[in-house]
């Protein structure tokens, strides 16, 4: 989908209430000490805002101007500051080794583009920092609900691990997970792929008197 398509989708969500962060991200990052984070494909900013509320210094990146305006409004309403950047992740190069947490949430791209984006995302992880990737699993097409209907943009956790081959990160978790959603008043399960990786190396030493 093009930026204008997502602009149109987000334009219809003006009255959408605060939904909180992705549940898997909340479970993972809830106990992490705050640092610098970047949320790639941040959409309307629910993950970025939640991280900022927990004390993180956050940058949110998306190619939809309407989504970013929704994100700014949400951040203001909840009293937090986030740096918002409009960019297409197919072309965007995040700063190298700059973030303690890099989040890629439901970015559904064809395999070649996905691989390039994820490798650049991994390169943005600072020493001992984390890469968190979650998206619609290919199994969701037949066994889950919601999500894209195009199998070309769906993926599995092992495929994400393969995308990261040769990158200096250690995979901590790679699995298929289920997420409960409300479909027409009925609880149903969506199927996601979840990968968490960590960059090796010790934290930078604290300078004397620091």
Q: Which helix (H) or strand (E) holds 76?
A: helix 65-77
For residue 206, the model assigns a pLDDT of 37
Which of 15-24, 61-70, 101-110 shows the lowest mean pLDDT across its residues? 15-24
Hey, where are the domains in the chain? 36-92, 114-202
> Is residue 47 classed as helix, strand or coil in its secondary structure?
helix
Q: Give strand pairing partners of 176.
A: 193
CA 188, CA 99: separation in Å to the nearest integer? Answer: 35
pTM, whole model, 2 decimals? Answer: 0.90
75-98 pLDDT, tens digit each: 999 999 999 999 999 999 999 999
Q: Pairing state of beta strands 125-136 and 186-198?
A: antiparallel
Residues with Cβ < 8 Å from 181, sequence gap 6 or more? 145, 146, 187, 188, 189, 190
d(CA 58, CA 37): 5
CB 95 within 8 A of CB 123: no
CA–CA gap between residue 40 and residue 21 (Å, rounded)? 14
> For residue 64, what pLDDT is reported?
93
Homologous superfamily (CATH) for 114-202: Vaccinia Virus protein VP39 (3.40.50.150)
**Are both 36-92 and 114-202 of the same fold?**
yes
Helix (H, G, I), strand (E, B) or coil at 68: helix
**If you average pLDDT over every residue of the chain, what do you get?**
90
Pairwise CA distance, residues 180 & 166, whole Å: 34
Per the listing, tokens 């197919």 go with: 90
3-state secondary structure of 205: coil
Helix, strand, coil share (%) of the chain residues, nearest 5:
30, 30, 40
Q: For the segment 99-117, what is each residue's pLDDT rounded down to a tens digit?
A: 999 999 999 999 999 999 9
Output the six-digit token pair for 68: 């970013």
Residue 123: helix, strand or coil by DSSP?
helix
Helices 3-11 and 65-77 sit at what angle, rounded to 10 degrees? 40
> Does domain 36-92 correspond to CATH entry 3.40.30.10?
no
Residue 39, pLDDT > 80, answer yes
Q: What is the pLDDT at residue 4?
A: 62
């Amino acid at each position: 989908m093009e930026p204008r398509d997502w602009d149109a989708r987000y334009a219809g969500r003006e009255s959408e209430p605060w939904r909180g962060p992705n549940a898997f991200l909340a479970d993972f990052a809830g106990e992490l000490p705050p640092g610098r984070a970047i949320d790639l494909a941040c959409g309307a900013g629910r993950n970025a805002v939640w991280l900022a509320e927990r004390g993180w210094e956050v940058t949110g990146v998306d190619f939809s101007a309407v989504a970013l305006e929704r994100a700014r409004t949400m951040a203001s309403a909840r009293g937090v500051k986030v740096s918002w950047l409009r960019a297409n992740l197919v072309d965007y190069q995040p700063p190298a080794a700059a973030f303690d947490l890099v989040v890629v949430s439901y970015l559904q791209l064809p395999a070649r583009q996905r691989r390039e984006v994820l490798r650049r995302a991994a390169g943005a992880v600072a020493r001992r920092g984390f890469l968190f990737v979650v998206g619609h699993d290919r199994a969701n097409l037949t066994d889950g609900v919601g999500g894209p209907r195009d199998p070309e943009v769906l993926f599995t956790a092992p495929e994400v691990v393969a995308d990261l081959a040769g990158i200096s990160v250690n995979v901590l978790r790679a699995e298929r997970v289920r997420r409960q959603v409300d479909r027409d008043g009925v609880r149903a399960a969506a199927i996601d792929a979840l990968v968490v990786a960590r960059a090796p190396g010790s934290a930078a030493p604290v300078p004397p008197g620091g």
